[in-house]
Structure 1
């Protein structure tokens, strides 16, 4: 019998390593795959697009905010993987009637490392988890050497339209903005505040407007309206997966960030 405590402080007891996993977080589905747990994953969301073949080999149980509890129950999972930001408290409470629900909470790079370590311990993939953390540590060190010569730029990171919403503090996006020497225009706001374009200039001038590809799929034309409200700051489309997905995706994100800086 083993006990583990998740990232919201809930302690779970397992008689053996969970063998049947339902993952309701796209980035964590990818991580579980990268840890060698493909055969243990029995259920995913419709947004779990990596790896690509999972959409035809795994049972789709709904989205990240709404799931089909009966479908999950029929899969007889040993554990459901959720995330504090991606999934709702109501979902977690209902899912706990089926099996243990492990909830992650990722706002920093250290949180990300801890999640990988936790998964390694829970699923008897300690060696694989250590390898991933080692790769990420090395890649982060390399990126920090790269980025130290890049000037600080003042940015706003848009995630939604109608109403406009941006990334604020306490988010993994904000953590990666800091890593990139992007000074978040809305770092004084919590989480994902709604904003009015005609008031955005009150905080000061922007160098860049970052328009995310998810959850709202911004297009180039969306940047024109925002740019006009920000003294024509440069608006660029960015890959939302690279800025918001935690887990093993961070390794690809660091290469993407180098490309992004070279193209600005």
Structure 2
């Protein structure tokens, strides 16, 4: 059968059992929630959900650096990549081994489309439809919750040394908008480096959101962020909720509701 990935590339895939390699943590979690854990033969070292998976499945490297010999030895039928997480060079190298599906996620529609694509690719449409329906219901409930909430200005940092923020044309920025968070770096592109000594402190956000990933911000980093934005309140947030698409979205909107209530008490 022929399928199209999210870059509109045509993939021909024979029916029957699949040997799957996933190079994206959030997609690995989705595969497991679709009941495909036993089909996984290779994952990255960052594929930490479900917790026991790395004890059972071969780790083939990270999202940016992979061991091609390991991948070849696993004889995969298909390798699952993402345009942002994996480099063009990785995708091209994997195409020399087997079929490659590339996702490209910017918003909720893209996420739901990916789930549906996996349902069709791996013959688990009913499970995919159930996940999609759950996410839609959670999203609609959150929209009702947040519609009368005030807009709150934020800066969302993903890295330290150098300081890097999430900006426009990212899934994180899309979810910030859904939360009615005004991203003060929303006029910039992707993940810009931020030079603290060049910031306009007069445009300080109400909250500085410090993500748990990819840099693992902790309590000790709050003080440093307060030096950058002395008039802002620093908050640690779950980066997986803001950047993991797929089945993680089933839990994300409840998390956003709790976060929003927490911020409201500190305004």
Distance apart, 1:231 and its partner CA: 3.8
Tell me the alpha carbon deviations over residues 61-94 of structure 1, each in whole angstroms, 9 at most, x when there is no partner: 1111111111111111000000011111111111
- 3-state SS of the aligned residue for 1:248? helix
1:201 aligns with 200
1:127 aligns with 126
Distance apart, 1:227 and its partner CA: 2.0
1:38 aligns with 37
Distance across 2 between alignment mates of 1:164 and 1:20:
39
**Is 1:4 aligned to 2:11, yes or no?**
no
Asked if the contact 2:60/2:66 (under 8 Å) is kept, the reply is yes
Q: Pairwise CA RMSD of aligned residues?
A: 1.2
Distance across 2 between alignment mates of 1:38 and 1:74:
19
Runs (4+) of structure 1 exceeding 3 A deviation are none
Asked if the contact 1:132/1:248 (under 8 Å) is kept, the reply is yes
1:108 aligns with 107
1:164 aligns with 163
In structure 2, runs of 5+ residues without a counterpart are none
1:81 aligns with 80
Distance apart, 1:199 and its partner CA: 2.4
Asked if the contact 2:173/2:186 (under 8 Å) is kept, the reply is yes
Instruction: Please give the TM-score of this superposition, normalised by the length of structure 2.
Output: 0.95
Distance across 2 between alignment mates of 1:43 and 1:18:
15
Distance apart, 1:223 and its partner CA: 2.2
- 3-state SS of the aligned residue for 2:246? coil
Tell me the alpha carbon deviations over residues 141-194 of structure 1, each in whole angstroms, 9 at most, x when there is no partner: 001111112211111100001111000111110111011110111111111001
User: How many corresponding residue pairs?
Assistant: 263
Asked if the contact 1:18/1:79 (under 8 Å) is kept, the reply is no
- 3-state SS of the aligned residue for 1:237? strand
Tell me the alpha carbon deviations over residues 89-108 of structure 1, each in whole angstroms, 9 at most, x when there is no partner: 11111111100110000111
Asked if the contact 1:201/1:229 (under 8 Å) is kept, the reply is no
Asked if the contact 1:185/1:203 (under 8 Å) is kept, the reply is no
- 3-state SS of the aligned residue for 1:120? helix
Distance apart, 1:17 and its partner CA: 4.9
Distance apart, 1:18 and its partner CA: 5.6
1:64 aligns with 63
Asked if the contact 2:104/2:110 (under 8 Å) is kept, the reply is yes
**Which deviates further from its counterpart, 203-212 or 34-43?**
203-212
2:98 aligns with 99
Instruction: Please give the TM-score of this superposition, normalised by the length of structure 1.
Output: 0.96
Relative to structure 1, the CA distance from residue 42 to residue 150 in structure 2 (aligned partners, 3 Å threshold; closer, same or farther) is same
2:153 aligns with 154
Tell me the alpha carbon deviations over residues 92-149 of structure 1, each in whole angstroms, 9 at most, x when there is no partner: 1111110011000011100001000100011011111111111111110001111112
**Which deviates further from its counterpart, 73-82 or 193-202?**
193-202
Tell me the alpha carbon deviations over residues 209-235 of structure 1, each in whole angstroms, 9 at most, x when there is no partner: 000011111122322222233242001
- 3-state SS of the aligned residue for 1:82? strand
